[in-house]
Amino acid sequence: MQVHISPSMRRITISTTPGFLDPMKMKGAARYLSYRCLFWTMLLLVFLLPFVFITSALVTLEGANKCSSIGCFGRKLGPRLTWRRHISPKASDQYSVLLAPASRTAVDLPESVEALVEEARKKQYDMPTLLIQLKAMVEANEERVRAAKLQEALYRHYASSGVPKGLHCLALRLTVEYSSNARARQDLPSPDLAPRLTEPGLHHLVLATDNVLAASVVVTSTVHNAAEPEKIVFHVITDKKTYAAMHAWFSLNPLSPAIVEVKGVHEFEWLTRDNVPVLEAMETSQDIKWYYHGNHAAGTNISQYSPTILAAYLQARSPKYISIMNHLRIYLPELFPELEKVVFLDDDVVVQKDLSPLWEMDLHGKVNGAVETCHGDDAWVMSKTFRNYFNFSHPIVAKTFDPDKCAWAYGMNVFDLRAWRQADITRVYHYWQKQNLQLNLTLWRLGTLPPALIAFDGNVHPIPPQWHMLGLGYNTKSSLEATKQAAVIHYNGQAKPWLDIAFPHLRPFWSKYVNYSNEFIRQCNILDRP
């Protein structure tokens, strides 16, 4: 057959082979053929070719028994299509072999693609066999990575739950110093400054911790960045076993002109079993003790979790969540009856700017000034709602709370104690803690924030997020520029700055306030890590 096109592009002649048909002439609009037909042909190919390519690739790589992609659609329609009827038995057998799951275990698989290619060359693999082996290698490597991430989450949990050797040494040495050195036992503050502990015009801050080094960083950073340090009054609360060490540290390392008071939980007459029955039950219940202090990996199939879910599960079982130290903030009006407004700080924060404007901030009659965590530049850290903290599969939670209600953060809070005393916050807090205990911790798992979200509901005044930046203890991608600009940075999460698992690029914001030349710091070999 021959095709002749006239020079004017207006006539096309198609001639068959001589001896069959006479020459046949076709006249047509060359423009019509060259534009419209070409357009529709190209349009058909644009839609058809990608579909054929993707379907063929997925059919090749997927297992025949799996149905998780568009390839499944093609396999279901395949027997009805005409082209399938002409596949030879031999080709059909090859197709079945290609879709069969890999039978080799991860142990006897080649360690690299180069090794697989070499093996294929020696054993004369055909293409389907080679693809099956390659798929098995990819799946095995993915499983190894997943197992390693799960193991990492477990190890990080253990690392974050323990007390570093240096911190333990520091507490012991300071306790010995308290017993042998009269200067370490001097009154804090001195008797002539004691009236300032309740003076309303000063800037009162409360810190509850049993970590001496962490407390020193919080207090030091606050005083160093204060515009008027003489107005700073710190009320440091600690437990009975750490009281001597904490008192000795601030006695031997004064931060004048600021005032620091150290009080043990045992010194508050109000903190009796009658006043905190729910928390007493949490500390004495054997089931609760096992849940928080038991072997967190025993009886748990960690392979059923993703690494992120496992990390959250383990963090929720941290023993700190049933410690009275972690619940003290809910009793501030009773612990400090003469104070009107305080700023409460966690021990894993660093203060980088003057906080005095917080005492001038109008909370509009609310009790708690806090940063909301449901919106912000960091989509991971600032995306928390009630859904993240409560078990909405439980009928009580589902019918009582809104899953999309915005959450807020503990760590740096401005509390109006006058408004608090007129509200019913502590009673509501106790009620829901008791409910959760009676329902075997099924309403929520994680710590003290969930009951606080309920108790303070309707009494929270949002403050600008620049006052409190979160996530430095779990988000390694925290913005360094935003970290530098924040007034308070919070290492919430497992990677505390005093631990070996801290993020190296975020640790210096904390370590700059540690006095590594201090004799007790040096004796305990607490070093500034790079």
Helices (H) and strands (E) in the chain — how many of each?
Answer: 22, 12
Q: CB-based contacts of 149: which residues, under 8 Å, 6+ apart?
A: 307
CB 236 within 8 A of CB 207: yes
pLDDT for the residue 360: 95
C-alpha span between 377 and 427 (Å, rounded) = 35
Q: How confident is the model at residue 83 (pLDDT cuts 50, 70, 90)?
A: very low
pLDDT for the residue 35: 61
The residue that leads in pLDDT, 292 or 395, is 395
Helix locations, 285-440, DSSP H: 286-293, 307-315, 324-327, 332-335, 357-360, 395-400, 417-422, 425-438
The residue that leads in pLDDT, 28 or 411, is 411
Chain position carrying tokens 């309920």? 454
Average pLDDT of the residues in 360-365: 95
Reply yes or no on whether the pLDDT at 18 is more than 90: no
Write down the mean pLDDT value for the chain: 81
The residue that leads in pLDDT, 378 or 496, is 496
pLDDT for the residue 440: 83
pLDDT for the residue 12: 47
Among the ranges given (30-34, 121-125, 302-306, 442-446), the one the predictor scored with the smallest mean pLDDT: 30-34
The residue that leads in pLDDT, 123 or 202, is 202
The percent of residues in the chain predicted with pLDDT above 90, rounded, is 51
Reply yes or no on whether the pLDDT at 33 is more than 70: no
pLDDT in tens, 131-158: 888 888 888 888 888 888 777 777 777 7
Chain position carrying tokens 């006479």? 22
pLDDT for the residue 139: 85
Among the ranges given (34-48, 88-102, 402-416), the one the predictor scored with the smallest mean pLDDT: 88-102
Q: How confident is the model at residue 293 (pLDDT cuts 50, 70, 90)?
A: low
C-alpha span between 454 and 139 (Å, rounded) = 45
Average pLDDT of the residues in 225-231: 97
Reply yes or no on whether the pLDDT at 473 is more than 70: yes
Average pLDDT of the residues in 321-330: 80
Could you tell me the two tokens for 8?
Answer: 């004017």
Give the sign of the dihedral formed by CA 367, CA 373, CA 377, CA 378.
Answer: positive
pLDDT for the residue 242: 96
Strands 2-5 and 11-15: antiparallel
Reply yes or no on whether the pLDDT at 313 is more than 80: no
Q: How confident is the model at residue 448 (pLDDT cuts 50, 70, 90)?
A: confident
pLDDT for the residue 112: 80
pLDDT for the residue 339: 97
pLDDT for the residue 82: 40
pLDDT for the residue 116: 81
Three-state DSSP class for residue 227? coil
Average pLDDT of the residues in 408-425: 96
Query: Considering the entire predicted model, what is its pTM?
Result: 0.72
